[in-house]
Amino acid sequence: MTTDKQYRQLSDDIYKAEKLHPRYDKTLKEGAIKEYGGVNYQVLKVEDNTSNGMQAMAVAPVNKADKVDMSKVVITYAGTNSDDNKDIQTKILIKKHLLKNTKFFFARYCHYNMLGVEST
């Protein structure tokens, strides 16, 4: 089972997947074995999307028989970096999209307007 400490370490490491990060870690790549909290994990996939500022990584623990346990995959992603314009722009677009679709959902599927959401 992945511990809170391991989750924290994974969460910290994903920021280092961005090539422009001051502590960029070029070893964060598919197939790499990384140690988090005393347990080895294999990096399954790393994404550093330069068009929208998103960084994400999927890892799975390696058991004592050196087999990757795909039943315990962990996906970690970086939060919004307030110093990165692409992150800010993406967050604004997501909020606009969610607001638009929330209004549509309530306008179309709710019999009454219990949340005060106006439809356009």
| Amino acid identity, position 91 | K
- Would you state the structure tokens that stand for residue 67, as one six-digit string? 């087999």
Residue 52: DSSP 8-state: T
State percent of the chain over pLDDT 90: 25
Answer yes or no: do 64 and 107 share one domain. no
**How many domains are there within the chain?**
2
* 43 touches 17 (CB < 8 A): no
At 50-105, the pLDDT tens digits run 777 778 889 999 999 999 999 999 888 876 555 656 656 666 666 665 666 565 55
In the chain, the percentage of residues whose pLDDT exceeds 70 is: 63
**Domain housing 37:** 1-79
pTM for the model stands at 0.65
Based on the fold, state whether residues 39 and 69 are members of the same structural domain. yes
Residue 7: which CATH number? 3.30.1300
Strand 74-77: give its sheet, edge to edge. Answer: 33-36, 39-49, 54-61, 74-77
- In this structure, the answer to whether residues 75 and 85 fall within a common structural domain is no
pLDDT the model gives residue 112:
45
